[in-house]
Chain A
């Protein structure tokens, strides 16, 4: 469909009625129904949108009036051509109407069946080439197809040439094994996949009868798909179902309704499910993303199911732009947020999030005593200036750079690499500057430690995968062997991006521990299926212009960490957000894909734009986050947000990550730890080498930095974690070696004051009266006071309230 014409028709699509009826407005998609051959057909969707934002599919009950019934016919919202020409379509429903245009050309031309976009599409739709069937790497029962049809010529060859006359029998089409198996007439592990009278089966049969041809080189190929409606909001779980419509565009400028050739998936069946025909029905309150896959394209549409109870947004004030965007989402979902947290909750949370340490009892006292209404902002500003804040982010960037001893990276090289990063972060360099220095780095690993990045991984493919995952938040690994089934990435994208690293040269430096990284100036990658040399292409942004003699990597880094690549800022924004909310707007943070959409796209876009505007300095954004009402909500939930996990309507309770937990244990017990290569008393977040042995850190799931994956940091509970805290050296050992209880008893004399101090240092609060009573009972039973207090300390360190940030 031509853009210009769409614009003109946009005017036509405005409801004809001047006054908006209270029952809602009508829209029709697509506004231009284009039928370009005798076999073409087009489904339309008629949507009613209500003043409260909810939508309803009324296509089945709408009345269609054609200005020229000789041009086309319409049945159940499906248009078919009759004769060349144009005609105006007036759609009426419930007192409203809306106008669309139908255009028919080549009404008598019956086009050849296309192998890739029709025949192969049937096989994909029927699941033949899925991973558990013939799409498996070695096929099934001796027959292999490319996974989800990424290799149409190869599939054509295997169908027609691998065993001529077996799978496809052009002289006796119905005897073709392909058809006999599909019908289940003969043994087929997959059983019956098609009905004999289905259109899909007829497509396969007709293709064989036509001689099972492959597509001629000039045949139009799909260039993309669009899914309609763009958003559906169900008023409640009983709302009527919504048909999806998928239109594919082709390289010859035509488009085609491919709804019945698409594979549909829902990413959250609890909220809404979708049938194989693309009919969405509501299951419960929440959000879901409906995914449609056709050919190599995956697109989706967002669906909201409201709880269906009366809703009024509370009178709360947005502190900043972040709040505005989050509030808008709650209003759309009919979510009620939790209350704002107390000063004690805030102080503990902000300290842990910004510095990885707990507030001391003294800090707590001062903060609570401060009557300044801006004291939370003051606290944030204060913590942002601390070196511990930078240490925390050095650790996070070091995980992305996978700083660890591996592939012969020496201890010396590692320490230099770590120092290189640490110095830059502490000197105030922003991450884009660091990346621009890192990616094109050349020289010896000692002379220019940034080159160590090319020692941690050494193949173009792995380097490209890591760069995409770390700095663009997207995983392209799947596309190494086949087009990504749930994302936009194709093998062309993958090898185009990996080509940027195809000219990295390695040689041994004089010091046996040092390696020289240089731009070899020659080398290229081959596309494994098409067997041709690939030229470097930016991920999702087309071929790169490379000046003669330029280092590919320099060209890449100029684009990667710049405004030309919004994915960089968006990913950074998401990483920062996830640090403060325990869950990303895209979650997992490094798995941004079509089928894993952001829970709040506008918010994610804003974070990216804000970072780009701030020159990728994360501090202003962090300040805005910490001062937002959204961040300062309490962790306790209400009836409305009880089930919400993705929309930040309450604070998420999350376990402290391994390094922070160990630091906090050392902080409250006033004990010290020794790590390899660091002076005694250093904090775990300062560890340079991801491979540094430490039982506690390993048990509690620190990142070993073996991959660039955010999933390396694990905060899920395990039995060994519980046993280690209950019985291990980390709690009782540190309690006795730190001697906190003894010292406090001496200083404060009163055991109850010591109890208060222990609660404050571990939990940032005073004990409740119930807790006091219990402790008093224990102290009164005549046993050793010191031992009882140490037991209490031990119990506090084993409490979830200590182990979690909330």
Chain B
């Protein structure tokens, strides 16, 4: 009997542990004994400190990106004393125990995160990571034969209906607690249920597939019948760049959380499975491309650095630090020898595709660059810009061979088909098609600024989106609308 009871208790305990919530709680209560690993602390540093304290140009000479760098200290001396958090500035400054308080002028880092730093120092600056090493995790394509478990799509968090009920009635309102700066009555407007704007778009070069960004998702459509074929989760955040590989087998998606994290994930187009992921940015990825042979991915964003990764092992090959503003466009040449990156200031850097070695800088644009396109023989680079111009450069000489000024206001989206026709979207809410010589062939109107457009694989249609979320198919021949794509609101897509 007694034994039976003990067994029951034991089983109950097991059950309890198996229930995720309870298990987590157990973990938290036991946290003091559990060793804090480097990746946990690094996540805190990444979120709170990396904007200033990372890499070669770190402020005060303090680089928090590796344990070795932290141990090396800052220009003002040692930044950490192993086992003694109260004597370590990397704890005392963010904990506001000492001046200068960190982050400067900001709120104190949450206690939970401070505790992690504290325990990590106390525990002797562990270099262990609880996650698997990057290279083995972001496996090569051969490794993809062992598909990773498909991540469950996470619901985009919907606007909370917290905007309190309409009117202050006879009861005292919030102002009673706030003698100065009284509260206004809350906003009681019904929140319109709205689909987000398109932040990225890509058409497959070999099929009728169209990829569009959704909230923490990627929607794969067949543009010919405008049917939704697949949904891929991107719990890393919002997607700001989509690209198909040249053979259409892979779809790479770049994005992340603003001012927090960014990476590029490659999906198998046919299955929607994740194949590899690269990048560890402190802000979203805004531009990325995969080399024609699939060997390299180049990515960039607000960090102003283009990073070149080897997709077979996830290793960072090179950092291109030539840009002075946010990286907005990246394109490998068709022969894969070169990669062009363009920024918000209007500069274009051309680097060697496999090494990142600087090749040439192309200046001339006076506004952000919205599109890059290589000629089929990779000898010419087309660029379109907010300054309203499309420029063509010869990559042998670096000289401009053609400049087209469509007179359509700022150019916001750009693509080019195999026959050389130029398609662009503008701030004047127009989608225009031009001959290679710069003659206007046709144009169509949208309801707001045209933010993205892509030519279909057969060069019969343009798919364009505007700043308020419309997605329209236009005929390349006559500019006639051939239908709309209306992604369902995020809430409706969650399986």
B100 interface residue, CB < 8 Å from A?
Answer: no
How many chain A residues have a CB neighbour from B under 8 Å?
56
Map CB proximity to A onto B161-179 as digits: 1 under 8 Å, 0 otherwise: 0010011111011011001
CB atoms of A171 and B182 under 8 A apart: no
Nearest first, the 4 closest Cβ-Cβ pairs linking A and B are A191-B106, A171-B196, A206-B187, A177-B258
Within 8 A of B (CB), among A119-172: 141-142, 160-161, 163-166, 169-172
| Residue on A nearest B168 in the bound complex, by CB | A80
Instruction: List, in ascending order, chain B residues with CB within 8 A of A160's CB.
Output: 467
B310 interface residue, CB < 8 Å from A?
Answer: no
A376 CB to closest chain B CB, in angstroms? 55
CB atoms of B170 and A73 under 8 A apart: yes
CB atoms of B185 and A188 under 8 A apart: no
CB atoms of B189 and A210 under 8 A apart: yes
CB atoms of B182 and A187 under 8 A apart: no
A84 interface residue, CB < 8 Å from B?
Answer: no
B17 interface residue, CB < 8 Å from A?
Answer: no
Instruction: List, in ascending order, chain A residues with CB within 8 A of B175's CB.
Output: 75-76, 78
B107 interface residue, CB < 8 Å from A?
Answer: yes
CB atoms of B196 and A170 under 8 A apart: yes
In Å, the complex CA distance between A112 and B240 comes to 31
In Å, the complex CA distance between A275 and B181 comes to 11
B156 interface residue, CB < 8 Å from A?
Answer: yes
| Residue on B nearest A161 in the bound complex, by CB | B467
B321 CB to closest chain A CB, in angstroms? 16
Chief secondary structure at chain A's binding surface: loop
**How many CB-defined contacts (below 8 Å) exist between A and B?**
161
CB atoms of A112 and B189 under 8 A apart: yes
**Given A191-B103, A209-B163, A277 and B181 touching (CB < 8 A)?**
yes
**Given A76-B182, A160-B467, A210 and B191 touching (CB < 8 A)?**
yes
CB atoms of B189 and A164 under 8 A apart: no
Within 8 A of A (CB), among B36-53: 47-48, 50-51
B236 interface residue, CB < 8 Å from A?
Answer: no
**Given A171-B196, A171-B489, A161 and B176 touching (CB < 8 A)?**
no
Q: List the one stretch of A38-46, A461-469, A574-582, A686-694 in contact with chain B.
A: A38-46
Q: Which of A108, A165, A180 contacts B199 (CB 8 A)?
A: A165
| Residue on A nearest B184 in the bound complex, by CB | A199
A276 CB to closest chain B CB, in angstroms? 8
A203 interface residue, CB < 8 Å from B?
Answer: yes
Q: Which of B159, B160, B259 contacts A177 (CB 8 A)?
A: B259
**Given A174-B160, A188-B259, A260 and B181 touching (CB < 8 A)?**
yes
B366 CB to closest chain A CB, in angstroms? 14
A186 interface residue, CB < 8 Å from B?
Answer: yes
A202 interface residue, CB < 8 Å from B?
Answer: yes
In Å, the complex CA distance between A78 and B183 comes to 10
Q: Which of A78, A82, A166, A191 contacts B284 (CB 8 A)?
A: A166
CB atoms of B47 and A186 under 8 A apart: yes
5 A-B pairs, CB-CB below 8 angstroms? A38-B167, A78-B182, A164-B197, A187-B103, A209-B192
CB atoms of B183 and A171 under 8 A apart: no
| Residue on A nearest B451 in the bound complex, by CB | A164
A173 interface residue, CB < 8 Å from B?
Answer: yes
Query: Considering residues A43, A166, A202, which has the most beta carbons from chain B within 10 angstroms of its beta carbon?
Result: A166
| Residue on A nearest B49 in the bound complex, by CB | A187
Supplied contacts A76-B182, A172-B158, 14 more A-B pairs, CB within 8 Å: A39-B185, A166-B258, A175-B157, A184-B106, A186-B258, A186-B259, A186-B260, A191-B106, A191-B107, A203-B187, A243-B180, A260-B181, A277-B180, A277-B181
Chief secondary structure at chain B's binding surface: loop
B405 CB to closest chain A CB, in angstroms? 19
**Given A161-B467, A191-B106, A192-B106, A110 and B48 touching (CB < 8 A)?**
no
In Å, the complex CA distance between A277 and B238 comes to 37
CB atoms of A171 and B195 under 8 A apart: yes
CB atoms of B179 and A180 under 8 A apart: no
CB atoms of B197 and A170 under 8 A apart: yes
| Residue on A nearest B465 in the bound complex, by CB | A164
**Given A164-B197, A191-B106, A206-B163, A113 and B187 touching (CB < 8 A)?**
yes
Instruction: List, in ascending order, chain A residues with CB within 8 A of B176's CB.
Output: 75-76
Instruction: List, in ascending order, chain A residues with CB within 8 A of B50's CB.
Output: 187
In Å, the complex CA distance between A796 and B189 comes to 80
Q: Which of B163, B173, B199, B282 contacts A80 (CB 8 A)?
A: B173
In Å, the complex CA distance between A412 and B273 comes to 85
Write the residues of chain A forming the contact surface with B, with a CB cutoff of 8 angstroms: 38-39, 41, 43, 60, 73, 75-76, 78, 80, 82, 108, 110, 112-113, 141-142, 160-161, 163-166, 169-175, 177, 180-181, 184, 186-192, 199, 202-203, 205-206, 209-211, 243, 259-260, 275, 277-279
**Given A78-B182, A169-B238, A173-B159, A187 and B189 touching (CB < 8 A)?**
no
In Å, the complex CA distance between A73 and B183 comes to 14
B240 CB to closest chain A CB, in angstroms? 8
Instruction: List, in ascending order, chain B residues with CB within 8 A of A172's CB.
Output: 156-159, 196, 215, 490
B64 CB to closest chain A CB, in angstroms? 13
Instruction: List, in ascending order, chain B residues with CB within 8 A of A189's CB.
Output: 51, 104
How many chain B residues have a CB neighbour from A under 8 Å?
64
A627 CB to closest chain B CB, in angstroms? 50
CB atoms of A108 and B167 under 8 A apart: yes
CB atoms of B47 and A187 under 8 A apart: yes
B188 interface residue, CB < 8 Å from A?
Answer: yes
Query: Considering residues A160, A199, A205, which has the most beta carbons from chain B within 10 angstroms of its beta carbon?
Result: A199
| Residue on A nearest B163 in the bound complex, by CB | A206
CB atoms of B259 and A75 under 8 A apart: no
| Residue on A nearest B282 in the bound complex, by CB | A187
B95 CB to closest chain A CB, in angstroms? 16
CB atoms of B259 and A209 under 8 A apart: no
In Å, the complex CA distance between A192 and B101 comes to 14
In Å, the complex CA distance between A181 and B105 comes to 13
B302 interface residue, CB < 8 Å from A?
Answer: yes
| Residue on A nearest B103 in the bound complex, by CB | A191
Instruction: List, in ascending order, chain A residues with CB within 8 A of B167's CB.
Output: 38, 108
B274 interface residue, CB < 8 Å from A?
Answer: no
Map CB proximity to A onto B254-265 as digits: 1 under 8 Å, 0 otherwise: 000111100000
CB atoms of B159 and A209 under 8 A apart: yes
Query: Considering residues B186, B259, B490, which has the most beta carbons from chain A within 10 angstroms of its beta carbon?
Result: B259
B48 CB to closest chain A CB, in angstroms? 7
CB atoms of A169 and B182 under 8 A apart: no
In Å, the complex CA distance between A260 and B184 comes to 10
B44 CB to closest chain A CB, in angstroms? 12
| Residue on A nearest B46 in the bound complex, by CB | A187
Within 8 A of A (CB), among B261-283: 282-283
| Residue on B nearest A167 in the bound complex, by CB | B258
B393 CB to closest chain A CB, in angstroms? 26
Instruction: List, in ascending order, chain A residues with CB within 8 A of B490's CB.
Output: 171-172
B194 interface residue, CB < 8 Å from A?
Answer: yes
A188 CB to closest chain B CB, in angstroms? 7
In Å, the complex CA distance between A80 and B166 comes to 13
CB atoms of B194 and A171 under 8 A apart: yes
Instruction: List, in ascending order, chain A residues with CB within 8 A of B258's CB.
Output: 166, 177, 180-181, 186
**Given A172-B157, A186-B260, A206-B189, A191 and B104 touching (CB < 8 A)?**
yes
A230 CB to closest chain B CB, in angstroms? 21
B449 interface residue, CB < 8 Å from A?
Answer: yes
Instruction: List, in ascending order, chain A residues with CB within 8 A of B180's CB.
Output: 243, 275, 277-279
B306 CB to closest chain A CB, in angstroms? 16
Instruction: List, in ascending order, chain B residues with CB within 8 A of A170's CB.
Output: 194, 196-197
Instruction: List, in ascending order, chain B residues with CB within 8 A of A188's CB.
Output: 106, 259
Q: Which of A113, A184, A210 contacts B192 (CB 8 A)?
A: A210
**Given A166-B284, A172-B157, A186-B47, A211 and B188 touching (CB < 8 A)?**
no
Instruction: List, in ascending order, chain A residues with CB within 8 A of B260's CB.
Output: 180, 186-187
**Given A41-B184, A169-B238, A277-B180, A110 and B257 touching (CB < 8 A)?**
no
In Å, the complex CA distance between A211 and B195 comes to 10
B325 interface residue, CB < 8 Å from A?
Answer: yes
Instruction: List, in ascending order, chain B residues with CB within 8 A of A112's CB.
Output: 189
| Residue on B nearest A257 in the bound complex, by CB | B182
